[in-house]
Structure 1
Amino acid sequence: MPESYIKRILDARVYDVAKETPVDRAELMSRRLGNNVWLKREDLQPVFSFKLRGAYNKMNRLSEAQRALGVVAASAGNHAQGLAMAAQKLNVKATIVMPRTTPQIKVDAVRRRGARVVLRGDSYDEAADYAQQLVAEKGMTYVHPFDDPDVIAGQGTVGMEIVRQHQKPLDAIFVPVGGGGLLAGVAAYVKYVWPQTRVIGVEPEDAACLKLALERGRRAVLPEVGLFADGCAVAQIGKETFRVVRNLVDEVITVGTDEMCAAIKDIFEDTRSIAEPAGALALAGLKLYADREGIEGADLLAIVSGANTNFDRLRYISERTEIGEQREAVLSVTIPEKPGSFRTFCNALGRRNITEFNYRFADAASAQVFVGLSVVPGGDDLAELLAGLARKGYDVVDLTDNEVAKLHVRYMVGGHVPGTIENERVYRVEFPERPGALAKFLSALGQRWSISMFHYRNHGAAYGRILVGVGVAPSEKKAFTAALEEIGYRFWDESDNVAYQLYLGRRDG
């Protein structure tokens, strides 16, 4: 299988615009993990992403007639910038169709490269449909972000460089996976030259389209795709990429948001550069693999695939980093509502660093304290803390992995609702961050249901998140769910979430 791509990769034309990026040893991460950790620095490309390689190789192979008609692509991110720069270099007209939800910084970056930007639809699929319409109407060439042999070959030059730069076989290479173009190109070349090297794909746990395909033995479409790692937010692995990787990849690892945030910090501490979430995906997978396998002294390489992130997102990333590193625990602790309780509780915590402390009076008997604490990662420190507090008579709930607690409740601690709201149900909703999106949500609810609670946060990305409480009678639940589904935003019923119940739910009496 890889043999058919070796010549394509060797012949790939990428260095007119792309540069050979270094393989750097991550000194701090190597010491922490007890292994030799290497970073392939694709964040150092002129467009801060590897996508330039595949786009230019594809365009360089177009005929003069195809170039004259121009190229088109649908993209909200790195592929758009790579294609725009490639088109500028080759003096070809490029049209990039982007969802209206695309952050302005990315729209401006594409326009600065000379491409024409068309904003169409609220999702990638809607933008892609319009791009195909332009192909049919104007004869333009569609440059796919990953599912094209020439694009795959261009990305495969990353693997070629790794082999040349490291000189001896690595034990494992970790590659971020969206549609699979980078993984297919790297796996094809590396497995041909270093068959003993493990090639491991890494996906966001809420966008694991390759893992789904491997489990089913065929390509399948994810019903929902998480958007935090927007560079890898793909619902279905590519047809050609899956054909290439299904027999080459050794395994696929999935990681969560907190692990990606922690990996962004790791890369910053070793390189002083800030990777985007998808760019840090491979390192997050490397860390999980090293911990799971208990290995030492191995040569492990992660591809840092990009650094196109909005500055506004750094606040959210920073908040989640310590939890992703397992250096912070988030707890809910019940303490007596009497003088001296806080001091006694703080004494019970010992000399631990308190990162957050939220409290509001609820009743005369007891109080709920929302507290963040530093813990030692990778051991039994958290378990010992919980056991120690329990021995001292405290009722403790571990909220460290509770999304509602981390996204919303920590900012809303303000006491329980008195017994006046009937049938309150709570939903977490994710919606496209564009003018009118929030109004659309509220208008769809109309005046049929009363809103009892509302919290919204913008994460500096293409989406926002809200936590909303609504009075919904049992007989109305089906109709309310249907109304949410009609809006088309992702939502989760959090009415039974322990963080909501502890801090925000109705309390009678």
Structure 2
Amino acid sequence: MSLHIQTPLLTSLPLGLAAGATVLLKLDAMQPPGSFKIRGIGYACEEHARNGKQRFISSSGGNAGIAVAYAARQLGLPAVVVVPQTTTQRARDLIAMEGAEVIVHGATWQEANGMALSLVGETDAFIHPFDDPLLWTGHATIIDEVVAAGEQPDAVVLSVGGGGLLCGVHEGLRRNGLGHVPVIAVETEGAASFAQSVKAGRRIELDAIRSVATSLGAKQVSEQAFKLAQTADIRPVTVTDRAAITACKRFLDDHRVLVEPACGASLAPVYDRASALDGFRKILVVVCGGVGVTLEQLEHYLAAS
């Protein structure tokens, strides 16, 4: 069975008018655990369960951990999720609500990840939040569904944290004969490890994450994401926190869906008609979701930005 659902694909009039193009929305905010993460993580968990693993261990800033906990509950297996101190209380509560054990460790995801790896035993499966070919294969189903619906965008806009979604979407484009389609890879300025790596010509590691979009808070993107930037048409774009937060607010007003700033990052250049989108007639935006924010928090972010 599949642990993710086929999500709606909508044409957005408000975003289309803002961008001056046809804008398609792949609404993965509608996934049961609240984000696209369940596609790849669900696929990986099912594979490990079939191979006899008896517990899942993961590290996460929020959404990946929620997806692991959801998958574990669906498969009847225990899970342990190690989160950094920056993970919101809401995200911690949602992971625990799914029945997983939550351990808070370290100031960054890297520190939490080190702790998670130290817990892995012989019968455990470690579920990486973004750097695993199994995840990319699962995430690629986003494009499978778009193509099955008869749509072929001439650009894809998505948010980049560690690069798992980017790797998966590119795999999906390639296996559907659309490997030439440009991907607009968006980050907030305080979490732009991908853009800075592309600019430097090498994978760089940020000294800190300085963004409210904590779900984008990987200080270094995966090696595979960086390699794609060398071989495929991947175009990094950065936006301010305020632009990402404002996009969340506008999207809530326009489509009645609350997403977190990490998702707002990919909506921002569309709302703001960024030059990176010039010339494209049909733009697919992956609305990756995220449940680590409430309306109250969003309003607080807006007031503080």
TM-score by length of 1: 0.56
The answer to whether residue 167 in structure 2 is matched with residue 184 in structure 1 is yes
Other-structure match for 1:3: none
Q: Any unmatched runs of 5+ in structure 2?
A: none
Does 1:234 find its partner at 2:246?
no
How far off its partner does 1:297 sit?
7.6
Aligned residues: 303
Q: Secondary structure at the match of 2:53?
A: helix
Aligned partners of 1:179 and 1:234 also within 8 Å: yes
Q: Deviations over 1:367-387 (max 9, x none)?
A: xxxxxxxxxxxxxxxxxxxxx
| 1:148–1:240 contact (8 Å) kept in structure 2 | no
2:9 counterpart of 1:26: no
Measured in 2, the distance between the counterparts of 1:102 and 1:307 equals 12
Q: Which amino acid aligns with 1:28?
A: P
Give the equivalent residue in structure 1 for 2:48.
62
What's the CA shift for 1:126? 2.2
Q: Is the 8 A contact 2:7 2:28 kept in 1?
A: yes
**Structure possessing the higher relative contact order (Cα contacts under 8 Å, 6 or more residues apart):** 2
Question: What residue is the counterpart of 1:253 in the other structure?
Answer: 237
Greater fraction of residues in helix: 2
* 1:189 counterpart SS class: helix
* Residue 108 (structure 1) shift: 1.7
Partner of 1:92: 77
How large is the RMSD of aligned CA atoms in angstroms? Answer: 2.2
**Higher strand fraction: Structure 1 or Structure 2?**
1
Q: Which runs of 5+ in 1 are unaligned?
A: 1-14, 320-405, 408-509
Matches within 5 A, 1:419-438: none
Match of 1:312, SS state, is helix
Match of 1:278 in 2: 262
Conserved 8 A contact 2:188-2:211: no
Output aligned runs, 1:319-468, within 5 Å: 319=303
1:49 CA displacement: 0.3
Distance in 2, matches of 1:133 and 1:291, equals: 43
Q: Distance in 2 between matches of 1:214 and 1:291?
A: 19
Residue 208 (structure 1) aligns with: 192
Partner Cα distance (1:65, 1:187) in 2: 27
- Take 1:61 and 1:251, find their aligned partners in 2: how far apart are those partners? 32
Q: Deviations over 1:124-157 (max 9, x none)?
A: 222211111112x565221100100001111111
Do the aligned residues in 2 keep the contact of 1:27 with 1:270 (CA within 8 Å)? no
* Partners of 2:155 and 2:280 within 8 A in 1: no
Q: 1:196 to 1:54 in 2, by over 3 A?
A: closer
| Counterpart selection for 2:130 from 118, 134, 146 | 146
Deviations 1:422-460 (A, max 9, x none): xxxxxxxxxxxxxxxxxxxxxxxxxxxxxxxxxxxxxxx
What is the percent sequence identity of the aligned residues? 28
Partner of 1:82: 67
| 1:467-487 CA distance string (max 9 Å, x none) | xxxxxxxxxxxxxxxxxxxxx
Equivalent residue in structure 2 for 1:72, among 35, 49, 57? 57
In 2: Cα distance, 1:294 partner to 1:227 partner: 24
Structure 1 residues 220-253: Cα deviation after superposition (integer angstroms, max 9, x where no partner): 2112222311111111011233334532233111
| Counterpart code for 1:44 | M
Name the counterpart of 1:418: none
Residue-by-residue CA offset, 1:93-139 (whole Å, 9 max, x unaligned): 2111122443222222111111111222333222211111112x565
Equivalent-residue separation in structure 2 for 1:279 and 1:105 (angstroms): 17
2: CA distance between counterparts of 1:22 and 1:129?
A: 37
SS in 1 for 2:71: helix
Distance 1:250 1:101, change over 3 A: closer
Per the alignment, residue 163 of structure 1 pairs with 147
1:217 aligns with 2:201: yes
- Do 2:62 and 2:215's aligned partners in 1 also have CA atoms closer than 8 Å? yes
1:182: Cα distance to partner? 0.6
1:289-304 aligned within 5 A: 290-292=273-275, 295=278, 298-304=281-287
Instruction: Identify the residue that residue 265 of structure 1 maps to in structure 2.
Output: 249
| Residue aligned with 1:61, SS | helix
Residues 188, 244 of structure 1: 8 Å contact kept: no
